[in-house]
Amino acid sequence: MQTSTTMGRMELAQLYFPYIQPRSAWQKLKPLLSDDPVLAHLVKLRRRTFLPNEVSMIYQHLGRP
């Protein structure tokens, strides 16, 4: 299952935590990514977006929001 566009990290975090502010949602999503050995490198990226294949990988490991 491949998504077709990039997604901002806070935008993605808000899908998982829709009832809190975007920055707080990202702060809650970061530990979930860090705890998964396959996804941990995504936290250290120096960009604010995830590529489509990275979003798919997150969905595979954390489940769809």
Give tens-digit pLDDT for 33-45. 999 999 999 999 9
CA separation, residue 63 to residues 6, 26, 47 (Å) = 18, 16, 23
Q: What is the pTM of this model?
A: 0.89
How confident is the model at residue 19, as a pLDDT? 96
What's residue 2's pLDDT? 58
How many domains does the chain fold into? 1
Which tokens in the block code for residue 57?
A: 């990988």
Is 43 part of any domain?
yes
pLDDT, one tens digit per residue, over 1-35 is 556 689 999 999 999 999 999 999 999 999 999 99
Gap between the Cα atoms of 43 and 27, Å rounded = 10
One-letter identity of residue 31: P
What pLDDT does residue 5 have? 80
Domain extent for 26: 7-62
Tokens at 39, concatenated = 């996804």
Dihedral sign (CA 34, 44, 23, 39): negative
Unique residue bearing structure tokens 């975007």 = 22
